[in-house]
Amino acid sequence: MKKKLLDAYHEAKYRVLTEPQVCVQVGVSQVVLIDHFFAADSFCIITAYNPLSTKLNDDENKQSNEKLLDQIKQLSDVKVCADTVAQDPNNEWPDERGFLVANLSKEQALQLGRLYQQHAVVWMPSPVYRAELLQCSQS
């Protein structure tokens, strides 16, 4: 992944749309998620927006995200906990809607990321739920 794009992923604020909101940042522990949901094997933030960093219109992005959501709901032992929005503090990228998913394995997260042509997903394994980027693409 190119440095500028990798930096954008690291600088993004991944907001979990709960009350109150949780702000996930790469490299930071998110144990607070247990307070909102439950102790899970992992949490993952994933989207189908803007595949391979190609900016699509809202309708195309929403349609792709609905397909992703339907696919996630078919997985056993996996739970969609909340909607998310990734925000670029430099305003170079539009907000990207996504989902906070509990108990998605690392392999499942990578597979879905690749299927929906994402460069990366945010994965938070237990017990401290430190947010890390899983790079899905080779570009």
Structure tokens at 125: 């394994």
pLDDT score, position 138: 66
d(CA 14, CA 21): 10
| 3-state secondary structure (DSSP) of residue 40 | coil
User: What single DSSP character describes residue 51?
Assistant: G
Residue 39: exposed, middle, or buried by beta-carbon count in 10 A (0-12, 13-18, 19+)?
Answer: exposed
pLDDT score, position 109: 97
pLDDT score, position 6: 84
pLDDT tens, position by position, 9-58 = 889 999 999 999 999 999 999 999 998 898 899 999 999 999 998 999 99
Residue 89: exposed, middle, or buried by beta-carbon count in 10 A (0-12, 13-18, 19+)?
Answer: exposed
By percentage, how much of the chain surpasses pLDDT 70? 98
Q: Averaged over 59-77, what is the pLDDT? A: 96
Is the pLDDT confidence value at 130 over 90?
Answer: yes
Structure tokens at 50: 């803007």
User: What single DSSP character describes residue 95?
Assistant: -
- Find out whether 134 and 31 touch, Cβ atoms under 8 Å: no
Is the pLDDT confidence value at 75 over 80?
Answer: yes
By percentage, how much of the chain surpasses pLDDT 90? 80
Is the pLDDT confidence value at 133 over 60?
Answer: yes
Q: For tokens 């690392």, what's the residue?
A: 106
